[in-house]
Structure 1
Amino acid sequence: PAECFLIKEDDQKNEEGSKKPKQKKKKKISDVLATSAPKPATPANLQKLLLKHFEDKRSVIEMEDLHLPDSCFLPNNDLTHSLSSYLKEVCPKWAKLCKNHKEKKSLLMVIVCSSAHRALELIRLLTPFRGKCKVLKLFAKHIKIEEQKNLLDKGVSHLGVGTPGRIKALIEQDALNLQSLKYLIFDWNWRDQKLRRMMDIPEVKQEAIKLLESGIIPACKAQDVKLGLF
């Protein structure tokens, strides 16, 4: 019986030794939020995002060209603002600019968000400005790019709300220029049903970075365009 016990004990040790160590599960955003309150985005968040994306792709000098000083940014949204109150209080000058804006194929403000559905939600929140400015839908779902190009070419529009991929495509096709652009606002703090912000969604983040590269960063550094993190 003693020998049997030793054999069983050895077998048990071998079984335990063969077990692989459990890998730590990656924390989900919902888990992080459960233990900490959401924090509003800051310029440092955008800088960190750009640094992480380009650190293996760019030289030190090229990385310096991507750096945006705090003067490029509008005041932060402290999570108490609605979209209309944010536009009225954080960048009040844009509404006055609408009166003098006469250029086709250009916008005074572009609001960038994660999806067509969210873009429509944001457009509904702009009702206080109805009649004062013309708003364009700049996303791909159910809207052909040719239709958006025609709207930009035929009439004067003031504000565009859409996804980074479609906005970038319009810039690349010379349908939308940056000549009159004064404000580019990222809908950064809003979370979808999975509690993801727009920059938590890989494909949206990639397109947002490409959009920044398509002339936005140089315009910000020249103080022609202000970045907002709503």
Structure 2
Amino acid sequence: MVQTTEHMTSKTGGDDLDDGLELDPDLLADSDVEAEGSGSEAEDEETEIVPDDEDQFESAENGDDDEEEEAKVKTAKSEVAKGKKRKVDDVELADDDDEEAKKAEKKRRKKEKEKERKAKKRQNGAETGPNDAPTHFTIPELSATLLKSIRESFPSASAVELDDKMIPESSLLPPAEYAAPKVEEGSFEPLQKRIETIVKRLKSKKPANGSPQVIVLALSGLRCADVVRGVRDVKGNGEVAKLFAKHFKLADQIKYLEKTKVSIAVGTPARVGKLLAEGAIKITSNTVVLLDVSHKDSKTRTILTLPEVRDELWKSVLGGKAREVLFEGGARIGAF
């Protein structure tokens, strides 16, 4: 009896598969599933909690960095845009300023040119009246016209030298007393009337040989021939002398003047200057020298502006020995 009990007790404490007990398959399956399920849930919970917190934190940091970077980019772009706009505005303002400055400068130059033009016009004696007739130049106007021509012939002359070359106002012919005739260009009516007025006062005085009452100085030999034809009908106390190179030689003209009474002499500055210097032309207080300033050549040059003729006028007739003969004799200078 005792032996049986000990035998059973020892069997109860061991793991004997042969004890005749069988495990329920369903029960074993359920417990395994529960154990595995509980483990996986715990692991899932641990896996979800830690990574979620870290991802959110990193995402938040990355989001802040992206926003900050984007803000910087926008700010930079804005600054660049503002800079470009400022440059454009500055360029536009500069262009506007330049345009205004150009307009102001153009206006100033225009005023200066107009001022110079008016001054030259006054100096040239051009503002003489409705017809601007040289026969009606006042003494100041005639003086200004002659002064301009002198300056062109002697551009480097000082003020003192110019004064020595100027014609004294006492030797200038006053303007005609009659109204200036309105005539077409090329007409000799103004000259005819001017000479008739001069000669009429001297009709009672007979001129000496070679002492013309009127000396007309013209631009060229051809112009002299035209003037001779224009004044041929003016009645004076003597002949109309042709004193230019194409008509007679200098020696022949000297002989002609020695034996001929001359009322009107027509010639070029070069030839008349030589005859004055030679003493072939006699000057008295009744002698008048008329300058053909109204006639212009094909290039609109006159006896006072055509360089070679202008220089001959001031050097050969109104300068040197001929000048002495003219002004010591009491001649007066006029224009037509």
> With structure 2 as the length reference, what TM-score do the two structures score?
0.49
Which residue among 203, 206, 212 is the counterpart of 1:107? 212
Instruction: Rate the CA distance shift 1:99–1:87 in 2: closer, same or farther, 3 A.
Output: farther
Displacement of 1:188 in angstroms is 0.8
Equivalence for 1:188: 293
| Structure 1 residues 138-177: aligned runs within 5 Å | 138-177=243-282
2:326 is equivalent to residue 224 of structure 1: no
Higher mean C-alpha displacement, 198-207 vs 219-228: 219-228
Instruction: Rate the CA distance shift 1:87–1:227 in 2: closer, same or farther, 3 A.
Output: farther
Which residue among 182, 195, 215 is the counterpart of 1:80? 182
Displacement of 1:200 in angstroms is 2.8
One-letter amino acid matched to 2:162: M
Displacement of 1:62 in angstroms is 3.6
The answer (yes or no) to whether the contact 1:98–1:108 under 8 Å persists in 2 is: no
5+ long unaligned stretches in structure 1: 1-37
Higher helix share: 2
SS in 2 for 1:47: helix
Higher mean C-alpha displacement, 46-55 vs 219-228: 219-228
CA distance in 1, matches of 2:196, 2:313: 21
2:166 is equivalent to residue 67 of structure 1: yes
5+ long unaligned stretches in structure 2: 1-130, 135-140
CA distance in 2, matches of 1:151, 1:99: 24
Instruction: Rate the CA distance shift 1:79–1:165 in 2: closer, same or farther, 3 A.
Output: farther
Instruction: Rate the CA distance shift 1:194–1:113 in 2: closer, same or farther, 3 A.
Output: same
Higher relative contact order (CA 8 A, sep 6+): 1
Instruction: Rate the CA distance shift 1:196–1:55 in 2: closer, same or farther, 3 A.
Output: closer
SS in 1 for 2:258: helix
The answer (yes or no) to whether the contact 1:138–1:162 under 8 Å persists in 2 is: yes
User: Which entry has the higher C-alpha Rg, 1 or 2?
Assistant: 2
Instruction: Rate the CA distance shift 1:175–1:161 in 2: closer, same or farther, 3 A.
Output: same
Equivalence for 1:27: none
Give CA-to-partner distance per residue, 1:111-133, whole Å, 9 cap, x none. 00011111111111113314653
Equivalence for 1:53: 153
Equivalence for 2:26: none
Instruction: Rate the CA distance shift 1:181–1:137 in 2: closer, same or farther, 3 A.
Output: farther
CA distance in 1, matches of 2:249, 2:149: 31
One-letter amino acid matched to 1:102: P
The answer (yes or no) to whether the contact 1:107–1:180 under 8 Å persists in 2 is: no
CA distance in 2, matches of 1:220, 1:142: 24
CA distance in 1, matches of 2:326, 2:249: 29
CA distance in 1, matches of 2:194, 2:263: 18
Instruction: Rate the CA distance shift 1:195–1:50 in 2: closer, same or farther, 3 A.
Output: closer
Instruction: Rate the CA distance shift 1:172–1:217 in 2: closer, same or farther, 3 A.
Output: closer
One-letter amino acid matched to 2:182: T
Equivalence for 1:14: none
Displacement of 1:91 in angstroms is 6.8
One-letter amino acid matched to 2:239: K
CA distance in 2, matches of 1:117, 1:50: 25
Give CA-to-partner distance per residue, 1:140-191, whole Å, 9 cap, x none. 0142112211111012112100100000011122212323552100111112
Instruction: Rate the CA distance shift 1:84–1:140 in 2: closer, same or farther, 3 A.
Output: same
The answer (yes or no) to whether the contact 2:237–2:262 under 8 Å persists in 1 is: no
> With structure 1 as the length reference, what TM-score do the two structures score?
0.69
Instruction: Rate the CA distance shift 1:223–1:169 in 2: closer, same or farther, 3 A.
Output: closer
CA distance in 1, matches of 2:180, 2:146: 16
Higher mean C-alpha displacement, 183-192 vs 97-106: 97-106
Equivalence for 1:117: 222
SS in 1 for 2:271: helix
